[in-house]
C-alpha cells in the first residue's frame, strides 16, 4: 500500500480554497501512484477555527466540502480532518474528526479522544471526546487512525487517563496514521520526533504522521511530517515551512531513506527566522493585504522587523518611516537610512520635533511647570504611533509592531505609541535573540548596518538615554524572563537557581504590573513554547508576585 502525505497550507473558513487545494493534491497523489492520501487535522475548515465552530452554517459548509472531495476519491482513498456533528444530545455538539473516504463514499469516521486545553489550545470548548475506537481496513491492511493529541499521552507525566492506541492495538493494526495541527515553536520539532518515535516503539508499528504548514494569525505551523518504522527509527522527514507531497510504500518502510539531506538540524535562530517570514507572509496574504509600514528608528528591533518584512513581502511592498526627534542621534538616522538603502525598501523621513513642541505648548498650562519626565517621553512615542497610523490609513499599509519579548514582558513600551500595530512580529523573540537574528540576516552580506547591532540599545526619548538606565542587562534579564515565562518558575525557584533575589523580585514585579499593557497589544507571532497572547492567560488585577 502506497501512502501519500499531503502537507498543505490551509486558510481558516476559506472552504473553496481549502477544498480545491485538497482535490488538486488528491489528483497529484493519484499521479504518483498512491493508494491513500492523508491530509491534516481539520484540513477542510482550517485550524484553529475557534468560535466559527458555533455557527451551524460553518459546519454545513464543512460537510458540503467533504462531499465535493469525496467525488474525487474513486481510484484513491483519502483521510481528511473536519468537525462533525454529535448526534447524541448529551455532551458537546461536535467532534474533532477525520473521514476515511473510499470509492466516493465516507467509509469510516474517526473521532479525536484527547482534547487539549493548554497553551494555545481550547478544544474542549467545542468538541466532545471520543470514547469508542475502531481500526480501518483498507487493501488488506488495518489502519489505526488517530488525531494529533491522541498520540501525545505517552510521557512521564500524562495529561489524560487513557490512550486511544491502547484500545486500537487490540485489533492488531498493521500501521498507525496520525493527522495533526501541531504548532511551531523552536523547541517543538525535536520533542515531536521523540513522542512519535516512542509511539512507534511502544506499539511496534510503522507510523505515518502528517502536519500542516502556514500561519493562522499568530499561530504558525511548520510541517515536518514524518515516517517511522516499527522500531521507532525516523525514516523520512518532510520539508519545514513549505508545502510538500510525498508518497511512501508501507511494504518498504524499513528501507525508506530520507529524501531531504539529514545534516545538522536547523538552529533555533534559523527556525525562528523562517517561521517569522512565513507568519508575516500568511498574515498579509490571508487577510488580503500586500503592503506594510513600520517605524524605522535606527535600532536593532525595527531593523530586524524591516528586513524580515522585506523578505516576506518584497522590499517594494514595505514602507519604513523615519521619525527623528530632537533627541535622535545623527547615527541613528544614518543607520536607518543605511538599512533602507541596503534592502531597497520605500522610506520617508517625517521629523516629530514640531509636533512634540506643539504638545508641550498645548499642555503647558495644565502641567503647571512640572519638570520633563516619562510623560513627555510617551508623548513622543504616541506622536510616532499617530504618524504611522496616518500612513496606514492614507495608503492602505498594515502597521507592523516592532516590540521584542523582553520589552513586552517588563512593560518597556508605550501604549498607543510604539506598542500599536496589526501584528507583533518579534514580540515572542527576546532581545538577545533579536541580536542573533540580526547576525543571521547579515550572514551573506551586510543588510543591517553593523553599528545598529553593536551600539547600546536606546529609545532616544531623552538626552543620552540607554535601555540600561531602566532595565537590567539583557543577558541577565532574558535568562530570568525565560525561567519565569517559558519554564513557569516563581521567584523562589529562580533565586534558588543562583539569581539575585532583589533583581528577581524587581523583574517579576515588572512582568506582572505590565499585564494590562499586554492585553491591549496586537497578536504576536508565536515562535516559543510560551508566547504572550492566547497561550498565556494572567489576571490583570492579581496580587501574586507583586
Q: Examine the domain organization and report whether 250 and 282 are in the same domain.
A: no
- Residue 428's contacts (CB-CB under 8 Å, 6 or more residues apart) are 405, 524, 525, 526, 527, 528, 531, 532
| Cell, residue 342 | 541596503
CATH of the domain at 148: 3.60.110.10
- Inform me whether the pLDDT recorded for 380 exceeds 70: yes
| Interatomic CA distance for residues 6 and 243, integer angstroms | 8
Q: Examine the domain organization and report whether 85 and 217 are in the same domain.
A: yes
pLDDT tens across 51-74, in order? 999 999 999 999 999 999 999 999
On whether 407 is known to bind a ligand per the annotation, the reply is: yes
For residues 82 and 66, the answer to whether their CB atoms sit within 8 Å is yes
pLDDT at 13: 98
Q: In what order do the strands lie in the sheet with 423-424?
A: 346-349, 318-322, 292-295, 398-401, 423-424
Backbone angles phi, psi at 437, to 5 degrees: -60, -45
Mean pLDDT for 257-269 is: 78
Q: Examine the domain organization and report whether 357 and 405 are in the same domain.
A: yes
pLDDT at 152: 95
pLDDT at 462: 67
On whether 298 is known to bind a ligand per the annotation, the reply is: yes
Specify whether 408 is catalytic: no
pLDDT at 457: 75
The whole model's pTM is what?
0.95
- Inform me whether the pLDDT recorded for 458 exceeds 80: no
- Nearest by Cα to 176 from 190, 195, 156, 160: 195
Mean pLDDT for 418-443 is: 97
Q: Examine the domain organization and report whether 233 and 296 are in the same domain.
A: no
| Interatomic CA distance for residues 272 and 404, integer angstroms | 13
- Nearest by Cα to 73 from 104, 99, 43, 100: 104
Q: Which of 101-115, 143-157, 246-260 has the lowest mean pLDDT?
A: 246-260
Mean pLDDT for 33-56 is: 98
Q: Residue 491 falls within a domain, yes or no?
A: no
pLDDT at 464: 73
Mean pLDDT for 340-357 is: 96
Mean pLDDT for 317-331 is: 89
- Inform me whether the pLDDT recorded for 129 exceeds 70: yes
Give 23's pLDDT tier (boundaries 50, 70, 90).
Answer: very high
| Cell, residue 232 | 521507532
Q: Which percentage of the chain shows pLDDT scores above 90?
A: 90
Mean pLDDT for 411-424 is: 96
- Inform me whether the pLDDT recorded for 328 exceeds 90: no
Give 373's pLDDT tier (boundaries 50, 70, 90).
Answer: very high
Q: Examine the domain organization and report whether 179 and 287 are in the same domain.
A: no
Specify whether 45 is catalytic: no
Q: Which residue has cell 535622535?
A: 328
Strands (E), 218-350: 219-222, 226-228, 234-237, 244-249, 292-295, 318-322, 346-349
Listed residues 413, 431, 466: the one ending a domain = 466
pLDDT at 448: 96
CATH of the domain at 339: 3.40.50.620
- Between the CA atoms of 413, 417, 423 and 426, what dihedral angle is there, to the nearest 10 degrees? -30
Mean pLDDT for 416-438 is: 97
pLDDT tens across 478-505, in order? 999 999 999 999 999 999 999 999 999 9
Q: How many residues appear in the chain?
A: 546
Q: Residue 473 falls within a domain, yes or no?
A: no
Average pLDDT along the chain: 95
Give the angle 521-523-528 at the CA atoms, nearest 5°: 110
- 463 secondary structure, DSSP code: T
Interhelix angle 300-313/330-343, rounded to 10 degrees, is 10
DSSP for 143-205, written as a single string? EEEEEGGGG---SSS-SSS--HHHHHGGG--SEEEEE---B--TTHHHHHHHHHHHHHHHHT-
- Inform me whether the pLDDT recorded for 507 exceeds 70: yes
On whether 60 is known to bind a ligand per the annotation, the reply is: no
Q: Given the DSSP bridges, would you call strands 244-249 and 423-424 parallel, antiparallel or unpaired?
A: unpaired
pLDDT at 260: 65
Specify whether 78 is catalytic: no
Q: Residue 537 falls within a domain, yes or no?
A: no
pLDDT at 109: 98
Q: Examine the domain organization and report whether 49 and 13 are in the same domain.
A: yes
Q: Residue 539 falls within a domain, yes or no?
A: no
Q: Which domain holds residue 349?
A: 270-466
For residues 391 and 319, the answer to whether their CB atoms sit within 8 Å is yes
On whether 313 is known to bind a ligand per the annotation, the reply is: no
- Inform me whether the pLDDT recorded for 330 exceeds 80: no
pLDDT at 35: 98
- Inform me whether the pLDDT recorded for 546 exceeds 70: no
| Interatomic CA distance for residues 34 and 78, integer angstroms | 10
pLDDT at 254: 79
Q: Examine the domain organization and report whether 363 and 245 are in the same domain.
A: no
pLDDT tens across 171-216, in order? 999 999 999 999 999 999 999 999 999 999 999 999 999 999 999 9
Q: Examine the domain organization and report whether 119 and 234 are in the same domain.
A: yes
Q: How many domains does the chain have?
A: 2
pLDDT at 145: 98
| Interatomic CA distance for residues 47 and 149, integer angstroms | 14
Interhelix angle 474-485/501-513, rounded to 10 degrees, is 70
pLDDT at 467: 76
Q: Residue 505 falls within a domain, yes or no?
A: no
| Interatomic CA distance for residues 524 and 219, integer angstroms | 9
Q: Examine the domain organization and report whether 14 and 68 are in the same domain.
A: yes
Listed residues 230, 256, 282: the one ending a domain = 256
Q: Residue 506 falls within a domain, yes or no?
A: no
Q: Examine the domain organization and report whether 71 and 217 are in the same domain.
A: yes
Give the angle 188-193-199 at the CA atoms, nearest 5°: 125
pLDDT at 108: 98
Q: Examine the domain organization and report whether 197 and 127 are in the same domain.
A: yes
pLDDT at 440: 98
Give 544's pLDDT tier (boundaries 50, 70, 90).
Answer: confident
pLDDT at 353: 95
Terminal CA-to-CA distance of the chain, rounded, Å?
Answer: 60
Listed residues 466, 483, 514: the one ending a domain = 466
| Interatomic CA distance for residues 139 and 487, integer angstroms | 47
On whether 296 is known to bind a ligand per the annotation, the reply is: yes
Q: Residue 391 falls within a domain, yes or no?
A: yes
On whether 118 is known to bind a ligand per the annotation, the reply is: yes
- Inform me whether the pLDDT recorded for 521 exceeds 90: yes
pLDDT tens across 71-96, in order? 999 999 999 999 999 999 999 999 99
| Choice among 45, 148, 306, 408 that is catalytic | 148
Q: Residue 476 falls within a domain, yes or no?
A: no
Q: Examine the domain organization and report whether 345 and 212 are in the same domain.
A: no
For residues 441 and 307, the answer to whether their CB atoms sit within 8 Å is yes
Amino acid at each position: 500500500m502506497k501512502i501519500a502525505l499531503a502537507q498543505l497550507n490551509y486558510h481558516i473558513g476559506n472552504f473553496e480554497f481549502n477544498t480545491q487545494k485538497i482535490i488538486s493534491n488528491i489528483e497529484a497523489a493519484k499521479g504518483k501512484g498512491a493508494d491513500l492520501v492523508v491530509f491534516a487535522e481539520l484540513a477542510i475548515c482550517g485550524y484553529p477555527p475557534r468560535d466559527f465552530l458555533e455557527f451551524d452554517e460553518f459546519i454545513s459548509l464543512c460537510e458540503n466540502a467533504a462531499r465535493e472531495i469525496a467525488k474525487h476519491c474513486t481510484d484513491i482513498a483519502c483521510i481528511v480532518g473536519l468537525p462533525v456533528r454529535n448526534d447524541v444530545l448529551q455532551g458537546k455538539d461536535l467532534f474533532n474528526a477525520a473521514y476515511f473516504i473510499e470509492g466516493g463514499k465516507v467509509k469510516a469516521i474517526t473521532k479525536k479522544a484527547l482534547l487539549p486545553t493548554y497553551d494555545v489550545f481550547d478544544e474542549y470548548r467545542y468538541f466532545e471526546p471520543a470514547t469508542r475506537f475502531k481500526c480501518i481496513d483498507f487493501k488488506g491492511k488495518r489502519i489505526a487512525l488517530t488525531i494529533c493529541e491522541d498520540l501525545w499521552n505517552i510521557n512521564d507525566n500524562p495529561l489524560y487517563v487513557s490512550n486511544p492506541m491502547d484500545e486500537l492495538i487490540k485489533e492488531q493494526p498493521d500501521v498507525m496514521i496520525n493527522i495533526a495541527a501541531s504548532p511551531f515553536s523552536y523547541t517543538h520539532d525535536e520533542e515531536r520526533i521523540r513522542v512519535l518515535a516512542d509511539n512507534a516503539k511502544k506499539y511496534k508499528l510503522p507510523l505515518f504522521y502528517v502536519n500542516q504548514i502556514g500561519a493562522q494569525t499568530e499561530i504558525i505551523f511548520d510541517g515536518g511530517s514524518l515516517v517511522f518504522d516499527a522500531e521507532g527509527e525516523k525514516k523520512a522527514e518532510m520539508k519545514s515551512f513549505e508545502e510538500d507531497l510525498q508518497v511512501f510504500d508501507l511494504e518498504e518502510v524499513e528501507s525508506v531513506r530520507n529524501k531531504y539531506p539529514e545534516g545538522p538540524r536547523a538552529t533555533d535562530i534559523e527556525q525562528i527566522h523562517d517561521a517569522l517570514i512565513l507568519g508575516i507572509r500568511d498574515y498579509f496574504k490571508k487577510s488580503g493585504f500586500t503592503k506594510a509600514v513600520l517605524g524605522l528608528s535606527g535600532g536593532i528591533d525595527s531593523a530586524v522587523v524591516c528586513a524580515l518584512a522585506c523578505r516576506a513581502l518584497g522590499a517594494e511592498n514595505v514602507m519604513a518611516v523615519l521619525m527623528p526627534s530632537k533627541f535622535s542621534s545623527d547615527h541613528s538616522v544614518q543607520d536607518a537610512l543605511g538599512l533602507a538603502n541596503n534592502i531597497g525598501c520605500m522610506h520617508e523621513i517625517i521629523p516629530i520635533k514640531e509636533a512634540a513642541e506643539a504638545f508641550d505648548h498645548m499642555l503647558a498650562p495644565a502641567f503647571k511647570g512640572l519638570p520633563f519626565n516619562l510623560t513627555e517621553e510617551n508623548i513622543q512615542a504616541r506622536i510616532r504611533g499617530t504618524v504611522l497610523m496616518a500612513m496606514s490609513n492614507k495608503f492602505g499599509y498594515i502597521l507592523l509592531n516592532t516590540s521584542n519579548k523582553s520589552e513586552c514582558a517588563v512593560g518597556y513600551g508605550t501604549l498607543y505609541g510604539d506598542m500599536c500595530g496589526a501584528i507583533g512580529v518579534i514580540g515572542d523573540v527576546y532581545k538577545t535573540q533579536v541580536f542573533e537574528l540580526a547576525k543571521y540576516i547579515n550572514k551573506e552580506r551586510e543588510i543591517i548596518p553593523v553599528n545598529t547591532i553593536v551600539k547600546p540599545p536606546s529609545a532616544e526619548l531623552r538626552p543620552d538615554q540607554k535601555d540600561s538606565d531602566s532595565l537590567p542587562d539583557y543577558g541577565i534579564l532574558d535568562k530570568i524572563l525565560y525561567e519565569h515565562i517559558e519554564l513557569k518558575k516563581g521567584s523562589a525557584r529562580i533565586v534558588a537557581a543562583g539569581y539575585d533575589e532583589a533583581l528577581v523580585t524587581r523583574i517579576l514585579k515588572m512582568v506582572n504590573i505590565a499585564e494590562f499593557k499586554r492585553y491591549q497589544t496586537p497578536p504576536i507571532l508565536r515562535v516559543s513554547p510560551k508566547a504572550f497572547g492566547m497561550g498565556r492567560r494572567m489576571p490583570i488585577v492579581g496580587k501574586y508576585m507583586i
